Structure 1
């Protein structure tokens, strides 16, 4: 088993092979933001140690966040949202872009930094 398999969350840039391994889902988001600012590259989540995706029946991002809220007090970590959306084929950038669009339309709020809830 490689060290990447042991970290609960692993993300990598497919363009330059930069990798982040962490215990915190939101550190993946921090890695994306730093990496994107410097390189302009998106990242992909390679591994997310969560089984939350199996119980999610919603198809849209807001509905997914609403269902994830059942497992998280004070908002769903953005890294968890990105991991679930990654399973649906969206990159971190695509997920954050959708989150921004829904937030600007008043559909989401942030009870604490990088944690979201749906209205």
Structure 2
């Protein structure tokens, strides 16, 4: 993810597809997650973050596995960490949203994550 500061009219969350470069600006990180799901399903494209302006993303560790990152982020949220925020935090380690979704699936299948509400996770 680029450390570039947004322009005044830019949304706090910005991502783009890897193939076509289609850009998505959103007020909420999970809006970018929905964009990823549409792009993945319809065009087979992965999405990368270009900007994420949220205190939890800024405070997220620059290294560590998915469970560690989710535990660190959990302090910023009452009812689970939005998956979009998790993906933005892991982009600091070079992961695309697709990479993050694959890691989430793998960890969920081993019982390492639970979903207290839709598209929000907590680590065991």
The reply to whether TM is greater than 0.5 is yes
Deviates more, 1:42-51 or 1:88-97: 42-51
Unaligned runs of 5+ residues in structure 1 are: none
| Aligned counterpart, 2:40 | 36
Deviation string 1:29-81 (CA, Å, 9 cap, x unpaired) is 10000011111110111110023344334611101101111000110000000
| Aligned counterpart, 1:87 | 92
Q: 2-side partners of 1:84 and 1:8: how far apart?
A: 14
TM-score scaled to structure 2, two decimals? 0.88
Query: What is the DSSP-based 3-state SS (H/G/I as helix, E as strand, rest coil) of the residue aligned with 1:44?
Result: strand
Unaligned runs of 5+ residues in structure 2 are: 1-6
Q: Please provide the CA RMSD for this pair.
A: 1.5
Q: 1-side partners of 2:35 and 2:58: how far apart?
A: 26
Corresponding residue to 2:75 among 70, 79, 84: 70
Structure 1 stretches (4+) deviating beyond 6 angstroms?
Answer: none
| Aligned counterpart, 1:113 | 118
Query: What is the DSSP-based 3-state SS (H/G/I as helix, E as strand, rest coil) of the residue aligned with 1:71?
Result: coil
TM-score scaled to structure 1, two decimals? 0.91
Corresponding residue to 2:12 among 8, 11, 23: 8
The number of aligned residues is 117
